[in-house]
Amino acid sequence: MRLKTSLLKEPKHRELVSCVGWTTADELYSCSEDHQIFRWNLLNGETSLVVRLPEEIFPIDLHWFPKAVGGKKQSLAEVFVLTSTDGKFHLASKAGRIEKSVEAHRGAVLAGRWNYDGTALITTGEDGQIKIWSKSGMLRSTLVQQGSPVYCVAWGPDSDRILYTSGRRLIIKPLQPSSKVLQWKAHDGVILKVDWNAVNDLILSGGEDCKYKVWDSYGQPLYSSAVHDYPITSVAWAPDGGVFAVGSFNTLRLCDKTGWSHTLEKSSTGSLFSLAWSADGTQLAGASGSGHVIFAHVVERRWSWRSYEVTLTKRRTMQVRNVVNDAVDILEFRDRVIKASLSHDHLVVTTSLQCYIYSVTNWNTPLIFDLKDGAVSLILQAERHFLLVDGGGIYVFSYDGRLTSSPKIAGMRTDILSAQAVSLSNDTVAVRDKVDEKVVFLFDALTGKPLGDGKPLTHKMEVMAIALDQCGPATDRKIALIDKNKDLYLTSVRRREQAICKIGTMVHTMAWNDSASLLCGIQDTQFTVWYYPHAVFIDRDLLPKTLFTKDASEFGRSPQILSYLGRQVTIRRADGSLVYSSVSPYPALLHQYAGHAHWDDALRLCRFAKDQTLWASLAAMAMANKELNTAEVAYAAVGEVDKVQYINSIKELPSKESSLAHILLFSGYVQEAESLLLQAGLIYQAIQVNISLYNWDRALELAVKHKTHVDTVLAYRQRYLQDFGKKETNKRFLQYAEGVEVDWEKIQAKIEMELASERERAASASLRTSAAFRQMCCDSRMDNTFTNLLIVCVSGGMQECAAALSRCMMGTRP
- In this structure, what CATH number is given to the domain that contains residue 191? 2.130.10.10
41, containing H or E segment: strand 36-41
pLDDT on residue 667: 85
Q: Please check the confidence at residue 481 and state whether its pLDDT lies above 90.
A: yes
**What average pLDDT score do residues 95-104 get?**
88
**What average pLDDT score do residues 249-260 get?**
91
- Domain presence at residue 783: no
Instruction: Tell how far CA 485 is from the center of its chain.
Output: 16
Q: Of the candidates 703, 734, 751, which is a domain's last residue?
A: 751
Q: Please check the confidence at residue 588 and state whether its pLDDT lies above 90.
A: yes
Instruction: Tell how far CA 506 is from the center of its chain.
Output: 17
Beta bridge partners of 424: 429
Q: Helix or strand or coil: residue 336?
A: coil
When comparing pLDDT for 784 and 112, which is higher? 112
Query: What is the band of 269 on the pLDDT scale with cuts at 50, 70, 90?
Result: confident
Q: Helix or strand or coil: residue 613?
A: helix
Q: Please check the confidence at residue 570 and state whether its pLDDT lies above 60.
A: yes
**What average pLDDT score do residues 156-165 get?**
90
Q: Is 284 exposed, middle or buried (0-12, 13-18, 19+ CB in 10 A)?
A: buried
SS (H, E, C) 621-644: HHHHCCCHHHHHHHHHHCCCHHHH
Give the residue from 795, 767, 790 showing the smallest Cα distance to 780. Answer: 790
When comparing pLDDT for 690 and 741, which is higher? 690
Supply the DSSP symbol for 795.
H
Q: Of the candidates 751, 766, 787, which is a domain's last residue?
A: 751
Give Cβ neighbours of residue 756 (< 8 Å, ≥ 6 apart).
none
Q: Please check the confidence at residue 810 and state whether its pLDDT lies above 70.
A: no
Per the structure, how many domains does the chain have? 2
- Domain presence at residue 414: no
- Domain presence at residue 554: no
Query: What is the band of 814 on the pLDDT scale with cuts at 50, 70, 90?
Result: very low
Q: Of the candidates 240, 272, 298, which is a domain's last residue?
A: 298
Give Cβ neighbours of residue 25 (< 8 Å, ≥ 6 apart).
278, 279, 280, 282, 283, 336, 352
Give the residue from 162, 156, 172 showing the smallest Cα distance to 141. Answer: 162
pLDDT on residue 413: 81
- Domain presence at residue 239: yes
- Domain presence at residue 252: yes
The β-bridge relationship of strands 337-343 and 578-582 is unpaired
Query: What is the band of 497 on the pLDDT scale with cuts at 50, 70, 90?
Result: low
- Domain presence at residue 121: yes
332-354: pLDDT as tens digits: 999 889 999 999 999 999 998 89
Query: What is the band of 545 on the pLDDT scale with cuts at 50, 70, 90?
Result: very high
**What average pLDDT score do residues 4-22 get?**
88
159-182: burial string, b at 16+ Cβ within 10 Å, e else: bebbbbbbbbebbbbebeeeeeee
Give Cβ neighbours of residue 500 (< 8 Å, ≥ 6 apart).
457, 459, 489, 490, 491
pLDDT on residue 797: 44
- Rounded Cα–Cα distance for residues 190 and 690 (Å): 69
The β-bridge relationship of strands 488-492 and 17-24 is unpaired
Angle between helices 744-779 and 656-666 (to 10 degrees): 110
Domain that holds residue 720: 653-751
Q: Helix or strand or coil: residue 79?
A: strand
**What average pLDDT score do residues 299-325 get?**
91
Q: Please check the confidence at residue 272 and state whether its pLDDT lies above 70.
A: yes
Mean pLDDT of the chain: 87
Q: Please check the confidence at residue 382 and state whether its pLDDT lies above 80.
A: yes
Angle made by CA atoms 1, 302, 337, in degrees to the nearest 5: 85
Q: Please check the confidence at residue 73 and state whether its pLDDT lies above 60.
A: no
Q: Please check the confidence at residue 785 and state whether its pLDDT lies above 70.
A: no
433-473: pLDDT as tens digits: 988 889 999 999 999 999 888 889 999 999 999 999 998 88
Give Cβ neighbours of residue 229 (< 8 Å, ≥ 6 apart).
210, 248, 249, 251
Question: Distances from the Cα of 18 to the Cαs of 14, 66, 89, 274, 533, in angstroms?
Answer: 12, 21, 15, 7, 55
Which range (72-76, 166-170, 764-768, 783-787) has the least confidence? 783-787
CB 271 within 8 A of CB 288: yes
- Rounded Cα–Cα distance for residues 623 and 277 (Å): 55
Query: What is the band of 769 on the pLDDT scale with cuts at 50, 70, 90?
Result: low
- Rounded Cα–Cα distance for residues 461 and 485 (Å): 8
- Rounded Cα–Cα distance for residues 623 and 608 (Å): 21
pLDDT on residue 758: 67
Q: Helix or strand or coil: residue 46?
A: coil
Give the chain's radius of gyration (CA, Å). 34
For 215, phi then psi, to 5°, come to -130, 155
704-733: pLDDT as tens digits: 888 888 888 888 888 898 888 888 888 888
pLDDT on residue 183: 92
pLDDT on residue 89: 92
Query: What is the band of 653 on the pLDDT scale with cuts at 50, 70, 90?
Result: confident
Query: What is the band of 375 on the pLDDT scale with cuts at 50, 70, 90?
Result: confident
- Domain presence at residue 609: no
What helix, strand, coil percent values describe the chain, rounded to 5?
Answer: 25, 40, 35
Question: Distances from the Cα of 618 to the Cαs of 48, 216, 475, 501, 511, in angstroms?
Answer: 71, 41, 20, 20, 22
pLDDT on residue 750: 77
CB 422 within 8 A of CB 394: yes
pLDDT on residue 782: 42
pLDDT on residue 790: 46
510-525: pLDDT as tens digits: 999 998 999 999 988 8
Q: Please check the confidence at residue 374 and state whether its pLDDT lies above 80.
A: no
When comparing pLDDT for 55 and 745, which is higher? 55
- Rounded Cα–Cα distance for residues 683 and 54 (Å): 92
- Domain presence at residue 743: yes
